[in-house]
Structure 1
Amino acid sequence: MKKTFLILLLVLAHSSTFFAQKSKTAYDIIVAKDGSGNFTKVQDAFDAVPDNSKRTIIFVKAGIYKEKLKLISSKKNVTLIGESYKNTILTYDDYAEIAGGTSKSFSTLIEADDFYAENITFENTIDSNLPQYKKGGQAVALMVNGDRTIFHNCKISGFQDTFYLKANKRTYIKDCIIDGTTDFIFGSAIALFENCFIQSKRDSYITASNQDVGKNKYGFVFKDCVIMANPKEDATKVSLGRPWGTGANVVFINCFEESHIIPEGWSVWSKDPEHKAFNNWKTTFYAEYNCYGPGYKPNNRIAWSHQLNETKALEYTKEKIFVANTTTANNLEGDWNPTIENDKCKIILPSKKAKNANSVFKKGF
């Protein structure tokens, strides 16, 4: 009996060693500030990825990594995994005035196709409301130019212009927190946000879509999301969006909207007839379907916005949003139906009677 028990212990010991080794080598590259990985900087890990290779998995240990990061287009098929978005933070403090424009102010830029991020915070710490940044306080936390990019269980945090989905390509954002002040989700992308907390820090605009008129069937789509004021900030009058481009395209489906959303819902870009974006609203497509909450007032919405019927709403599936022919502005490579392995995040929507989303946010992912 003792001999059998000893053999069993040896087998278990060997098995645990095997799984420990397997777990340790499951990542191609490990980044750790304490020197226990392959690199101490995330940019060094990005640079080490072979050009046009099969999937490379980078694990980033907990820590605050202050770097201006760029994953160039040849570094395709990169997976970036952190320990948790709460303690694995990629941050920088560049802004438009000193960077040379909004598109150069990024903390992290993803140019490569087929990028996947999980358990990471992408952050820009520049508060555009402070007087020293008035000449150019746009400060991008995360900018995406690649196609077929996925962000899961991440936080994208900043102030003005937080999340720049610049290129007219496809991005899937699932179980994420995105916060900011003015136009903090903006650009030309075909982007689906599912099960996300969208948090306004101040009175301003959430989206600034820059689609070209007549070229895109889909733009920014928010499904089963919580549209809320940041619990630590004071936002009481927030617009769902304003049309940066002539074909701005934004839709909210099955979303909870807090009372900070203005009754008219949406805004024009400029009230100045001399402004080049003055007439953008005329060719904009802004819509909602089956939303609820104290901020959802369909009878008060601006006249040129839409309330979808069920038939129209059924067109907004992941499979249809990401097919290659939904845009004529870019030649996209093949249809895309993104999946997330081990997706265990729970539904975050509050009850129909809820007045705010603070309680579900505290219990969120």
Structure 2
Amino acid sequence: MKKNLFLGLLSIAAASAFAQTDKQLYDFVVPRDGSLADAIQAANNRQNINARYRIFIMPGEYRLPADSTNMVLGGDSVKYPTPITYLRTGNTSIIGEDFNTTSFTNTTPQVEWHNPWGAANPLEGISKSDVLYICKGADNCYMQGITIKSSIADAHGRNIALNDNSNKTIIKDCCLWGFQDTYVSHAQQRYYFEGGVIRGCVDYCCGKGDVWYNQVTLRTAGGGFLAVPSRPFKYGYVFDRCRIVSDGNNGDNSYTLGRPWGKGTPSAVFLNTTMEIKPSQIGWDEMSGGWPTQFAEFNSMDADKKPISLSGRKTTFGDKKNCNKPVLTEEEAAKYSIELVMGADDGWEPRDFTRQVEPVKKLKAKKGILTWKHCDDALLYAILRNGSVVDFTTENSYTLPADTQKSDKWSIRCANQMGGLGEASNQVSSK
């Protein structure tokens, strides 16, 4: 009873936080010709790390520079500037208008090195080639509407887009693009994905902790292994209502759902997953003699939403003495919930923070001025010109720029507390 009351109070507090009365602009807006590195440095250097710091990246493609003050030894025994950008402070939001229009990558050496597995980038590897590394203690970060893409070519070693060593990170409607080890959950903590895309081939969701993947598109680029969990916080990896799709020409039986990174600790479940390309019948693979505590599925479906037969799924690992129950009953599957897995002992509810603000009402254009009905829930208003963000305001009116054309279409998107932009309002023409 006390726990239920505690969770209820947390939900009320989170909902109340969205009833914004004081509007606020983004702390840092990265212009189309600007530096994302400067924005992240500003977030790292700020004095009040308890207040949320919101970065908005204007539409475009950005490249984070390598850091020549921090050299790293490559596999070819040559030292290179580190390609990793470190986010060191928590309560930081990195926002774009859409992951299809806003992306950033890193700067890796354009050198090919041959290791025992073939051609590779000399900086391939976890914590060597990452685009973005969220440091330990930088908790409660939030990302929405961006693509993070490794600059290392496919099949040239481990090329990490995001390496997260923090806690309670929320990734909404983002794209992580790599080939091997695309996403690394580095700590035994909790992480939450909602929507968006993760692309890769080998071990492209890997690491520790509990990760809830809520309706994420898993884009598989060839034969490989999808999920490679290690040591959980408690429950491991939960894929809920996700889609597994092909990145190219690979089809059915070209990949497995995952393999165990550890002995007796890895856990991954796929719930109500649409597998537009189906894994091999065995479903799971071996890794270094390891075995899972549980690798299982419930209600896996093909592209036509028809049930996939799970009768051939792998039931033993390692020396075949380590058994696995690969199919969950409806009752067993029902035990998995965001409230349970993400809530743990403190009632953390990430969906309170991903909730989007509804579009403004009564948008009008008259005599070069946009007006609309004030929205209490909005942190700020993004001004869209022909569908793309061009400016921001905290007022419920906006004077159109002098170069406005009669053909221009204007609309508004509201930001939630974290800075993420909701759906656009109706469009109006310049008058």
The TM-score range, normalised by the shorter chain, is 0.7 to 0.9
Comparing 145-154 and 258-267, the one that deviates more? 258-267
Checking the alignment, whether the CA contact within 8 Å between 2:226 and 2:258 is kept in structure 1 is yes
| Corresponding residue for residue 228 of structure 2 | 208
Query: What CA distance in whole angstroms lies between the structure 1 residues aligned with 2:29 and 2:219?
Result: 32
Deviations 1:263-288 (A, max 9, x none): 1111111xxxxxxx31x12x431011
| Corresponding residue for residue 109 of structure 1 | 133
**1:253 is the counterpart of 2:271:** yes
| Corresponding residue for residue 122 of structure 2 | 98
| Corresponding residue for residue 219 of structure 1 | 236
Checking the alignment, whether the CA contact within 8 Å between 2:209 and 2:234 is kept in structure 1 is no
Deviations 1:75-131 (A, max 9, x none): 1101111121011101125488533742221011122110000000011132342xx
| Corresponding residue for residue 27 of structure 1 | 26
| Corresponding residue for residue 64 of structure 1 | 61
Checking the alignment, whether the CA contact within 8 Å between 1:94 and 1:106 is kept in structure 2 is no
Query: What CA distance in whole angstroms lies between the structure 2 residues aligned with 1:169 and 1:296?
Result: 32
Deviations 1:212-234 (A, max 9, x none): 6xxx431110001111222x343
Query: What CA distance in whole angstroms lies between the structure 1 residues aligned with 2:148 and 2:93?
Result: 15
Shift of the alpha carbon at 1:336? 1.1
Unaligned runs of 5+ in 2: 1-21, 65-82, 110-119, 316-323, 359-431
Comparing 183-192 and 308-317, the one that deviates more? 308-317
Is the alpha carbon distance of 1:181 and 1:93 closer, same or farther for their aligned partners in structure 2, counting shifts above 3 Å? farther
| Corresponding residue for residue 41 of structure 2 | 47
Structure with more relative contact order (C-alpha pairs < 8 Å, separation 6 or more): 2
Shift of the alpha carbon at 1:196? 1.1
Query: What CA distance in whole angstroms lies between the structure 1 residues aligned with 2:245 and 2:266?
Result: 22
Higher strand share: 2
Checking the alignment, whether the CA contact within 8 Å between 2:270 and 2:300 is kept in structure 1 is yes
Is the alpha carbon distance of 1:300 and 1:93 closer, same or farther for their aligned partners in structure 2, counting shifts above 3 Å? farther
Higher helix share: 1
Aligned residues: 289
Identity across the alignment (%): 28
TM-score (norm 1): 0.74
| Corresponding residue for residue 337 of structure 1 | 349
Checking the alignment, whether the CA contact within 8 Å between 1:201 and 1:235 is kept in structure 2 is no
Letter in 1 for 2:131: S
Query: What CA distance in whole angstroms lies between the structure 1 residues aligned with 2:238 and 2:357?
Result: 20
| Corresponding residue for residue 390 of structure 2 | none
Shift of the alpha carbon at 1:27? 0.8
Aligned-residue RMSD, C-alpha: 2.3
Shift of the alpha carbon at 1:255? 0.7
Query: What CA distance in whole angstroms lies between the structure 2 residues aligned with 1:90 and 1:316?
Result: 34
Matches within 5 A, 1:88-167: 88-92=102-106, 94=108, 98-99=122-123, 101-111=125-135, 112-129=138-155, 133=156, 137-167=157-187
Unaligned runs of 5+ in 1: 1-21, 35-39, 270-276, 326-333, 345-365
| Corresponding residue for residue 273 of structure 1 | none
Checking the alignment, whether the CA contact within 8 Å between 1:76 and 1:115 is kept in structure 2 is yes
TM-score (norm 2): 0.63
Query: What CA distance in whole angstroms lies between the structure 2 residues aligned with 1:88 and 1:219?
Result: 30
| Corresponding residue for residue 302 of structure 1 | 314
Query: What CA distance in whole angstroms lies between the structure 1 residues aligned with 2:355 and 2:54?
Result: 14
Shift of the alpha carbon at 1:251? 0.4
